[in-house]
């Protein structure tokens, strides 16, 4: 039993010494971090990124020419497509980037962007 107690005492002393060494090093580590942050123009976000990254926005798969709304096909169906043939609203995969640019700029969509050219869709 004496050996066990000796190990517990040794562990207690070592834990105490580790804590002392840790406290001695903290100032040096903080100084080095501050120097690097300043040297590389880092922000708090660079050093500590958000824990929960926002999910990337899904690409639009369907487009409503009346309202200009889009839908990725995931989740609840919007009212403008509910109960209708989805093929009529399908965006051409080729035209997706052009569609997004048109939607941002307010330009009307071409039939190709609205997925009316079914040769590209099949």
Residue ranges per structural domain of the chain: 2-47, 62-121
Pairwise pLDDT comparison (52 vs 114), residue with the higher score: 52
Q: How far from the centroid of its chain's Cα atoms is residue 80's Cα?
A: 29
Residue 79 carries which DSSP code?
A: T
Please name the residue that has the structure tokens 């107690």: 5
Take residue 45 and report the two structure tokens written for it: 């976000």
| Phi and psi angles of residue 90, each rounded to the nearest 5 degrees, phi first | -65, 130
pLDDT confidence tier of residue 35, bands split at 50, 70 and 90: very high
Flag whether pLDDT at 111 surpasses 80: no
Measured CA to CA, the distance from residue 65 to residue 52 in angstroms comes to 35
Q: Let me know: does 95 contact 107? Beta carbons within 8 Å.
A: no
Name the burial class of residue 96, with classes exposed (0-12), middle (13-18) and buried (19+) by CB atoms within 10 angstroms of its CB. Answer: middle
pTM of the model: 0.37
* pLDDT score of 71 more than 50: yes
Q: Which tokens sit at 86?
A: 């989805």
3-state secondary structure at position 38: helix
């Amino acid at each position: 039993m004496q050996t066990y107690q000796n190990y517990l005492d040794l562990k207690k002393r070592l834990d105490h010494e580790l804590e002392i060494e840790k406290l001695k090093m903290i100032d040096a580590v903080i100084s080095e971090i501050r120097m690097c942050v300043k040297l590389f123009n880092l922000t708090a976000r660079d050093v500590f990124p958000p824990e929960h990254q926002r999910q990337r926005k899904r690409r639009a798969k369907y487009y409503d020419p009346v309202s200009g709304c889009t839908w990725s096909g995931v989740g609840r169906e919007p009212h403008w497509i509910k109960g209708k043939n989805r093929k009529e609203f399908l965006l051409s995969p080729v035209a997706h980037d052009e569609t997004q640019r048109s939607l941002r700029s307010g330009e009307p969509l071409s039939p190709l962007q609205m997925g009316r050219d079914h040769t590209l869709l099949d």
